[in-house]
Amino acid sequence: MILILVEGTDDEMFFNYVVRPKLAQTYDYIQIERYSEATKGEVNSILYDYFAMNATVEVQADAILVADLNASPCVTDRKERIRRGYRSLSGDTGIALGPHLSTRIFIVCREIESWYLAGLSDTECKRMGIATGLQNTDHLTKEQFLGLIPGKFNSRAEFMLEILSAFDHETARTKNSSFSYFMQKYGTDS
């Protein structure tokens, strides 16, 4: 079982279209929820309930909070800031977490938009009207992503859906190290 807490709508869409099918090769139950509009107390409750439900069974149950690096100087700093805000991510649940329960924070470098663009080959970039040559998207920001949207797309959402329809996992793994690490870490390398 795996619970993935993602920041917003774009993250949720990416995880449902791109990540969920790969996770289904490893996990029997996948729950993806947005947390950006929830209070910290609500997020702690979601995590508490998830762990309480799985504490008495010997099923592997992972919970991952996914966040963008944003302006943090490094991944360690970003994780620490998040841990301070969510007691359930610090192991402070009041539930004895056995070896079959785990909670993690995963940081997308730099922002989820970098994962979107990582999955486009040069051929797909040309087809869509995006400048080619993006060999590494690790440091791509939301603002840079918005600047790459070709005029033929009526909206950001339309552009993102088009990217998802052409997304290639292998290309993404070569262009974005945090995407590659996430896919490898959660047993999706089949």
Question: What gap in Å lies between CA 17 and CA 133, rounded to an integer?
Answer: 25
Q: Per-residue pLDDT for 58 more than 60?
A: yes
Quickly list H helices, 65-176.
Answer: 75-85, 112-118, 122-128, 142-147, 156-166, 169-175
**Residues with Cβ < 8 Å from 184, sequence gap 6 or more?**
none
Would you put residue 187 in left (φ > 0), alpha (ψ -120 to 50) or beta? left
- State mean pLDDT over 123-133: 89
Question: What gap in Å lies between CA 93 and CA 95, rounded to an integer?
Answer: 5
Instruction: Identify the CA nearest to 124 among candidates 143, 147, 150, 144.
Output: 150
- State mean pLDDT over 148-173: 97
- State mean pLDDT over 50-62: 80
**Which range has the worst mean pLDDT, 30-44, 77-91, 132-146?**
77-91
Q: What is the pLDDT of residue 129?
A: 93
**Tens-place pLDDT, residues 68-118:** 998 899 999 999 999 888 877 765 555 555 667 778 899 999 899 999 999
